[in-house]
Structure 1
């Protein structure tokens, strides 16, 4: 695979892990006890987007490293995935 493919895969992994990281990184307004008028109680009370982006980038980088090692070192390709699936019929 080329560098462009790896960058696209990392970008997709980064966005997927963003939705994994977001629920664990903050308190809602209801939890902090300070609900701003006109917002829902589940809105974040103090979003720290810089911290979220850093944590997300670390998680995505670890996942990408596992993917890269699996593909480049162990030689597992997309076609090999189907050999692990059970055969029906």
Structure 2
């Protein structure tokens, strides 16, 4: 894995974790009981974006470390996940 691949892998993991984190404990203005005029009752009351970004980054670093170590160790290769044989026939095992 080169530097570009590592950055792309981290970005993908970060955004997936971030979109999941946005759905954890959302509190609407209707739940809080304080609806700001001109906004729908389902609008977020307290977004806490900084907290979610920090947690997302910490979780993404841990997950990226796990995925990067598996990729770099060679424990799982592209041939291992080629279920439909699109990479061609496997080379015969040498004895």
Compute the TM-score of the two structures, normalised by the length of structure 2. 0.75
* Corresponding residue of 2:45: 45
- Distance of 1:31 and 1:68 partners within structure 2: 41
* Corresponding residue of 2:61: 61
Gaps of 5+ in 1: none
* Corresponding residue of 1:28: 28
* Corresponding residue of 2:82: 82
Q: Secondary structure at the match of 2:45?
A: coil
Instruction: After the TM superposition, list the runs of 4 or more consecutive aligned residues in structure 1 that deviate by more than 4 angstroms.
Output: none
Gaps of 5+ in 2: 85-95
Name the one with the larger helix percent.
1
Compute the TM-score of the two structures, normalised by the length of structure 1. 0.79
Q: Secondary structure at the match of 2:79?
A: coil
Whether contact under 8 Å (1:25, 1:52) holds in the other structure is: no
